[in-house]
């Protein structure tokens, strides 16, 4: 038996596409390689699911073609998303424009989507990984991993490596068989490469390539940055507010953000770092050297910082330079700022020369950190890059390369900033793709009533 629409991937965009297609009257099958749907949704917003944001602007979405993203988002915007989820039962709760379900449980979002899929008669095939697609129509070939039967499990043991060298559950756990599903239309919603433990392992790019689609190199985004600086270990664990700019060695500003920074033993984290990470990742990938300039007192000009230091020195009779800084920054930050200036933290503050005070002020305003890499895809919340949007119709999400093939979600070359924008992208693109794929093309007789 064939379906009108097959959807590969039961994440946010896949579930939205399934509902939209089924609401158009199509029969729908969702194929998911994990044992259940929506695993990544469960992890979003620290388990609370920041599912959209009231503040929307082009800067919240990044892509090689931002106009494409904005057109899709206009097609199914935040207000429609909120109304869609309210109709399903999600009562939204707002915090500074960020929207969460009032239950503060991401599981509620998965639950309402699954209840709607059930109401609409959407079929699901779990533990099936789409490995190949052939034509005519779409023959979707999957690898079906069959968990061992209970009695088999018992016979094998508890899953740990047996001391007598017996095979374990993990060695023998899955029987694999090949399956085929047939459909007139296919929507690929397999996500990117971020957090592959939640299912998105990049296999969707290979499927897109079967239809000659171009893949913009996938890179980790919304991710921490690594640094080779020796001071990272000293600063590890310190959190402080600041303005951070990422630059190339040619002095080009890549991106700038303000907020709470978290120093770690490998480098730096925090929301502003996550926001700029995709630009750092791209620049590093293109062979540039990247460094951060951190302004630790962004509310003050350099002149005001010098005056502040002068005043503190005036009040610091008998104190060392390090002691003069107590109460201004975390003591580890003060120590590193003085060291990076090339001064002795034990030097008497009153003996600091003007140029030394200016040098400390410059460190405060432009603290440098070299960046060697991003953390891995495993630590990333999203993927920058993906299927090139120039090859996709912005109204329907249909491929311009292959009729009846559609794409949605993170698999495409669109990534959002922190704040609910990635899920909004998944909902908007999933909805448009599902609606277009699910639309039945009526014959002339059907649409006119002619006999």
Taking each helix axis from N to C end, the angle separating 78-88 and 106-120, rounded to the nearest 10 degrees, works out to: 80
Q: For the CB of residue 381, give the shortest distance to ligand FAD in the complex, in Å.
A: 4
Tokens for 243, please give them: 């303005």
Minimum distance from residue 433 beta carbon to ligand FAD (Å): 11
Q: Which of 225/369 has CB closer to ligand FAD? A: 225
Question: Do residues 12 and 85 touch, judged by C-beta distance below 8 A?
Answer: no
What's CA 207's distance to the chain center, in Å? Answer: 21
Q: Rounded to the nearest whole angstrom, what is the least distance from the CB of residue 189 to ligand FAD in the complex?
A: 5
230: nearest Cα among 260, 267, 261, 262: 267
3-state secondary structure at position 188:
strand
Between 11 and 438, name the residue whose CB sits nearer to ligand FAD. Answer: 11
Nearer to ligand FAD, 197 or 440 (CB): 197
Nearer to ligand FAD, 199 or 385 (CB): 199
Distances (CA, A) of 132 to 147, 180, 192: 22, 10, 17
Task: Give Cα 168 to chain centroid, integer Å.
Answer: 35
DSSP-derived 3-state class of residue 166: coil
Q: Taking the mean position of all CA atoms in its chain, how far away is CA 13?
A: 13
Judged by beta carbon, residue 198 or residue 302, the one nearer ligand FAD is 198
Distance in Å, CB of 409 to ligand FAD, minimum = 2
The residue ranges that bind ligand FAD (CB under 6 A) are: 8-14, 31-34, 39-41, 43-45, 49-50, 129-130, 189-191, 194-195, 199-201, 203-204, 381-382, 409-410, 420-423, 426
Q: What is the dihedral of CA 349, 351, 356, 358, to 10 degrees?
A: 70
Whose Cβ is closer to ligand FAD: residue 175's or residue 315's? Answer: 175
CA atoms of 78 and 56, how far apart (whole Å): 8
Q: Nearest to residue 85, comparing CAs of 112, 106, 111?
A: 112
Smallest distance from ligand FAD to CB 221, Å: 10
How near is the Cβ of 16 to ligand FAD at its closest, in Å? Answer: 8
Taking the complex as a whole, the smallest distance from the CB of residue 239 to ligand FAD amounts, in Å, to 20
Give the residue with the Cβ less far from ligand FAD, 385 or 420.
420
The Cβ-side half-sphere exposure at 53, using a 13 Å CA radius, reads 17
């Amino acid at each position: 038996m064939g379906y009108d629409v097959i959807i590969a991937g039961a994440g946010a965009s896949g579930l939205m596409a399934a509902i939209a297609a089924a609401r158009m009257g199509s029969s729908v099958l969702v194929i998911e390689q994990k044992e259940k749907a929506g695993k990544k949704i469960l992890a979003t917003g620290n388990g609370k699911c920041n599912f959209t944001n009231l503040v929307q602007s082009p800067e919240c979405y990044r892509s090689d073609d931002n106009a494409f993203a904005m057109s899709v988002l206009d097609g199914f915007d935040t207000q429609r998303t909120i109304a869609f989820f309210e109709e399903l039962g999600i009562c939204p709760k707002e915090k500074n424009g960020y929207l969460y379900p009032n239950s503060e449980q991401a599981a509620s979002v998965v639950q309402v989507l699954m209840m709607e899929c059930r109401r609409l008669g959407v079929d699901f095939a779990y533990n099936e990984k789409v490995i190949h697609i052939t034509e005519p129509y779409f023959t979707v070939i999957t690898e079906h991993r069959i968990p061992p039967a209970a009695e088999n499990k018992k016979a094998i043991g508890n899953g740990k490596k047996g001391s007598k060298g017996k095979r374990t559950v993990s060695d023998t756990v899955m029987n694999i068989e090949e399956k085929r599903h047939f459909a007139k239309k296919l929507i690929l919603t397999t996500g990117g490469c971020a957090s592959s433990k939640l299912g998105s392992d990049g296999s969707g790019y290979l499927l897109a390539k079967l239809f000659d689609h171009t893949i913009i190199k996938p890179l980790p985004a919304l991710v921490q940055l690594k640094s080779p600086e020796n001071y990272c270990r000293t600063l590890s664990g310190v959190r402080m507010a600041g303005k951070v700019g990422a630059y190339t060695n040619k002095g080009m500003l890549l991106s700038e953000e303000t907020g709470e920074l978290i120093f770690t033993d490998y480098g730096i984290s925090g929301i502003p770092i996550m926001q700029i990470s995709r630009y750092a990742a791209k620049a590093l990938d293109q062979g540039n050297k990247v460094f951060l300039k951190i302004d630790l007192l962004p509310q003050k000009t350099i002149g005001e910082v010098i005056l502040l230091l002068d005043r503190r020195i005036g009040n610091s009779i008998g104190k060392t330079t390090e002691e003069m800084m107590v109460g201004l920054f975390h003591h580890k930050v003060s120590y590193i700022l003085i060291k990076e200036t090339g001064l002795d933290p034990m030097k008497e503050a009153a003996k600091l020369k003007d140029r030394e005070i200016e040098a400390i002020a410059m460190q405060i305003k432009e603290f440098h950190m070299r960046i060697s890499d991003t953390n891995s895809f495993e630590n990333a919340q999203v993927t920058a890059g993906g299927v090139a949007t120039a090859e996709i119709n912005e109204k329907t999400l249909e491929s311009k390369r292959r009729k009846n093939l559609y794409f949605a979600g993170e698999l495409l070359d669109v990534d959002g900033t922190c704040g609910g924008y990635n899920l909004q992208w998944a909902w908007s693109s999933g909805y448009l793709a599902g609606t277009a794929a699910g639309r039945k093309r009526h014959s002339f007789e059907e649409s006119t009533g002619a006999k």
